[in-house]
């Protein structure tokens, strides 16, 4: 399920725990609903809409295929850094998969 924007997203950043990787920032907290929810944030960084959407689709596909099944009941926010635009898919997948396994 998707994490709604607004107060829930801000609460996850402010009250949750954080993890930083070379290409991504992750924030999470226990979900009040009892099931995992996710949000993907891709800042502009002076890139085109095409580049932002491509990166968003890559991150969404990684979350859909790999670590979602192993997620505990948390609200997870994944924020891309500037370096993520140039990162290969395999590297993003490895970072995100390794990060999600550390969530508890």
CATH, residue 30: 3.30.230.10
* Residue 68 domain-assigned (yes or no): yes
16-75 pLDDT, tens digit each: 999 999 999 999 998 888 888 889 999 999 999 999 999 999 999 998 887 666 778 888
Give how many domains the chain has, as a whole number: 1
Q: What is the pLDDT of residue 6?
A: 81
Mean per-residue pLDDT, 71-97: 92
The residue ranking higher by pLDDT, 92 or 32, is 92
**pLDDT value of residue 68:** 64
Strand order in the sheet with 74-80: 17-20, 24-30, 74-80, 37-41
User: Which residues are paired to 74 by β-bridges?
Assistant: 30
Output 83-89 pairs: Cβ under 8 A, ≥24 positions apart: 83/22, 83/23, 84/23, 84/24, 84/55, 85/45, 85/47, 85/51, 85/55, 87/23, 89/58, 89/62
Considering the entire predicted model, what is its pTM? 0.88
Range of the structural domain that residue 84 is part of: 7-101
- Domain membership flag for residue 2: no
């Amino acid at each position: 399920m998707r994490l709604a924007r607004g107060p829930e997203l801000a609460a996850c950043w402010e009250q949750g725990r954080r993890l930083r990787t070379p290409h991504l920032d992750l924030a999470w907290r226990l979900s009040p609903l009892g099931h995992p929810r996710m949000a993907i944030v891709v800042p502009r960084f002076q890139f085109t809409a095409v580049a932002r959407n491509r990166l968003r689709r890559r991150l969404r596909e990684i979350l859909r295929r790999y670590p979602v099944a192993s997620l505990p009941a948390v609200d997870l926010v994944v924020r891309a850094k500037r370096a993520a635009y140039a990162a290969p898919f395999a590297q993003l997948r490895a970072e995100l998969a390794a990060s999600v396994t550390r969530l508890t």
